[in-house]
Amino acid sequence: MSLAAITRATLAKDLRLEWRSKDAINSMLFFALLVVVVFSFSFDPNAEESRQIAGGLVWVAFLFAAVVALNQTWARELRNQVLDAFRVAPAPANSLFLAKALGNFVFVCVLEALMTPLFVVFYKLRALGPAWQLIPVAVLGTWALVVNGTFFAAMSIRTRRREIMLPLLLFPISIPAILAMVNATTAILTGELSAWFWFVLLATYDVVFTIACLLLFETVLHAE
Amino acid sequence: MSARLFSTSSAASSIFTLTPFFTSTSVTSIPAAPTNSAVVIITDLVKQFGRFAALRGVTAEFAPGRLYAILGDNGAGKTTLLRALAGLTRPTRGTVLMLRTTNLRAVCKQVGYMAHSSLLYDEMSGMENLRYFARLYGIEEGQRCEMVLSAVGLEPGLTRAVGQYSQGMRQRMSLARAILHDPQILLLDEPFSNVDMGSAREMVNLLARMRDAGKTIFVVTHQSALLESAADEFVRMEAGQITSRTPHLRTAEAR
């Protein structure tokens, strides 16, 4: 059975389970909404200040919300020890990783699509640079978060305090990606600088960490 | 439901005719000494969890086409042994040779594993679960899932989520998942727990038929009496070691 076919089957299964339970998406939405509202009460920036700080606010909100979902990614596989059923099956380990990462990517993209209009309204945002460039920033940035997040969530599933362990592992290694996402977003919103360098950094980060995670995931899956 | 449990008719029997190795019926129920044709050879198997040794140098051979009941008190190492055979636990020392290879990943398609937990998604129906696992094993034919469900006495059309099944139904569903891919070796950990006596007997009959069809079956159980007539050998474990192997339950229980 091919990697693509099992990845598709696992992704479809995960999306179906999420559609029925709505565990991840509800937690993420609620959390991100709280961040938007609390931040909007905490700061009262004018339009120019908003452009300067929005990149950081948006990505911090999405990062924390994504962690909520990432923590639940593997919880479903631990319930009834279903992960063992996958481990004894002849399916390639990478298909499970890819399906989980793609599933998380979909969930976080849905969150971003729903929350971005709220950010625009609450912070009176209007991009002075090419706004369409926010789309590749979102795609590359989201993948950077979920690919590492999925991997480190898998690493921490057997630890006693996995909810704490995941951010401890994920945040430090995500610093280059977060820096690139925030700076690219700010550059586009203010229109002062080119975001090109940050695009290249994000794309490189994505490629390097996707390959590293794929190479190491089988070891993580079968670790005791 | 109970009236159609484990029907021996069409669906139940036909699952044994899908692959060539199921067709062999030459297996005798008389226990024999281990031979060179052993399907599982365990050599000096040790598994330590920190300072606790769950397995302490287990050495044994198991012949094909036989049903082995593994008995022992809690903590004797039965589950750890089964997990080591399934490739889920890496031994601290020693080897497991299964179907002539120590690379258990290479033969995982020939091994079925049923654990204490159901290894099923509670939010999906029985058929949805089986269809997903069928894909993991590269099983394309859609009828296979229906046949396996019927064989364990479950209604293929049941749309209820597995989380809403009774404990007995979950056990049967779990067995269905373990036998879905026609494994040559079946590892079952407490398959009869929380199952009513009638259903447990039907499960035993199903396992006996599978054994007669050439399967090698390991059943870890505390309900050894259920297997008195079906098991070829009773393997007793104590403190991480195999202490006796006998074809008679009474001998196995007399410690």
pLDDT tens-digit map of A204-223: 999 999 999 999 999 999 88
Nearest to B118 among A5, A80, A91 (CB): A80
Contact B90 A1 (CB under 8 A): no
A13 touches chain B (CB under 8 A): yes
**Please, which residues have CB within 8 angstroms of residue B232's CB and are 6 or more apart in sequence?**
B29, B30, B31, B66, B67, B68, B211, B247
Q: Which residue of B has its CA nearest to A1?
A: B138
Helix-helix angle A93-122:A47-73, to 10 degrees? 150
Contact A90 B108 (CB under 8 A): yes
Residue A140 exposure: Cα atoms within 13 Å on the Cβ side: 27
Residues of A in contact with B109 (CB under 8 A): 90
**pLDDT tier at B33, thresholds 50, 70, 90:** very low
- Given a cut of 60, whether residue B10 has pLDDT beyond it is no
**Please, which residues have CB within 8 angstroms of residue A173's CB and are 6 or more apart in sequence?**
A148, A152
Give me the total of CB pairs closer than 8 Å, taking one residue from chain A and one from chain B: 70
Nearest to B135 among A6, A79, A85 (CB): A6
pTM: 0.86
- Given a cut of 80, whether residue A91 has pLDDT beyond it is yes
The residues in B 69-98 lying below 8 A from A, measured between CB atoms, are 86-90
The pLDDT score that the predictor gives to residue A162 is 77
Helices (H), ranges, chain A: 3-21, 23-42, 47-73, 75-78, 82-87, 93-122, 134-156, 162-190, 196-222
pLDDT tens-digit map of B201-228: 999 999 999 999 999 999 999 998 999 9
Contact A84 B135 (CB under 8 A): no
Cβ count within 10 A of residue B25: 10
Q: Distance from first CA to last CA of chain A, Å, rounded?
A: 26
- Given a cut of 70, whether residue B3 has pLDDT beyond it is no
**pLDDT tier at B36, thresholds 50, 70, 90:** low
- Given a cut of 70, whether residue B34 has pLDDT beyond it is no
pLDDT tens-digit map of A49-83: 777 888 888 898 899 999 988 888 888 898 899 99
Query: Per mean pLDDT, which of A182-196, B23-37, B181-195 is the most reliable?
Result: B181-195
Mean pLDDT of A27-31: 89
- Given a cut of 50, whether residue B12 has pLDDT beyond it is no
- Given a cut of 60, whether residue B5 has pLDDT beyond it is no
Query: Per mean pLDDT, which of A32-36, B17-21, B145-149 is the most reliable?
Result: B145-149
Residues of A in contact with B115 (CB under 8 A): 81, 84
Mean pLDDT of B13-27: 37
The pLDDT score that the predictor gives to residue B242 is 94
Cα-Cα-Cα-Cα dihedral of A76, A15, A25, A153, to 10°?
A: 40
Place of tokens 């699952």: B15
pLDDT tens-digit map of A119-173: 888 887 887 888 899 999 999 999 999 999 999 999 988 787 777 888 888 999 9
The pLDDT score that the predictor gives to residue B13 is 47
Contact B133 A88 (CB under 8 A): no
Least confident of A91-105, A125-139, B165-179: A125-139
**pLDDT tier at B29, thresholds 50, 70, 90:** very low
Nearest to A80 among B90, B105, B122 (CB): B122
Mean pLDDT of B4-10: 46
Residues of A in contact with B121 (CB under 8 A): 13, 17, 76, 80, 82
Report CA torsion sign: B213, B219, B225, B228: positive
Helix-helix angle A162-190:A47-73, to 10 degrees? 150
- Given a cut of 50, whether residue A117 has pLDDT beyond it is yes
Given a contact cutoff of 8 angstroms between Cβ atoms, the answer to whether B189 and B115 are in contact is yes
The residues in A 160-189 lying below 8 A from B, measured between CB atoms, are none
Query: Who has greater pLDDT, A73 or A98?
Result: A98
Residues of B in contact with A80 (CB under 8 A): 117-122
Q: Which residue of B has its CA nearest to A93?
A: B136
- Mapping DSSP onto H, E and C, the string for B118-175 reads CCCCCCCEHHHHHHHHHHHCCCCCCHHHHHHHHHCCCCCCCCCEHHHCCHHHHHHHHH
The pLDDT score that the predictor gives to residue B211 is 95
Report CA torsion sign: A5, A8, A14, A18: negative
**pLDDT tier at B199, thresholds 50, 70, 90:** confident
Contact B119 A1 (CB under 8 A): no
Contact A84 B88 (CB under 8 A): yes
Q: Distance from first CA to last CA of chain B, Å, rounded?
A: 40
pLDDT tens-digit map of B54-80: 999 999 999 999 999 999 999 999 999
Q: Which residue of B has its CA nearest to A77?
A: B121
- What is the C-alpha to C-alpha distance for residues A193 and A183, in angstroms, rounded to an integer? 10
**Please, which residues have CB within 8 angstroms of residue B110's CB and are 6 or more apart in sequence?**
B99, B183, B184, B185
Query: Who has greater pLDDT, A54 or B47?
Result: B47
Contact B115 A81 (CB under 8 A): yes
Given a contact cutoff of 8 angstroms between Cβ atoms, the answer to whether A151 and A73 are in contact is no
Query: Among residues A22, A82, A218, A73, which one has the least CA distance to residue B128?
Result: A82
Percent share of chain A, pLDDT over 70: 99
Contact A85 B138 (CB under 8 A): no
The residues in A 42-101 lying below 8 A from B, measured between CB atoms, are 76, 79-82, 84-91
Q: Which residue of A has its CA nearest to B123?
A: A17
- What is the C-alpha to C-alpha distance for residues B152 and B210, in angstroms, rounded to an integer? 12
The pLDDT score that the predictor gives to residue A150 is 95
**B5 secondary structure, DSSP code:** T
Tell me which architecture the domain covering B2-34+64-88+107-253 has in CATH: 3-Layer(aba) Sandwich (3.40)
Across chain A, what does the average pLDDT equal? 90
- Given a cut of 50, whether residue A189 has pLDDT beyond it is yes
Helices (H), ranges, B2-47: 10-14
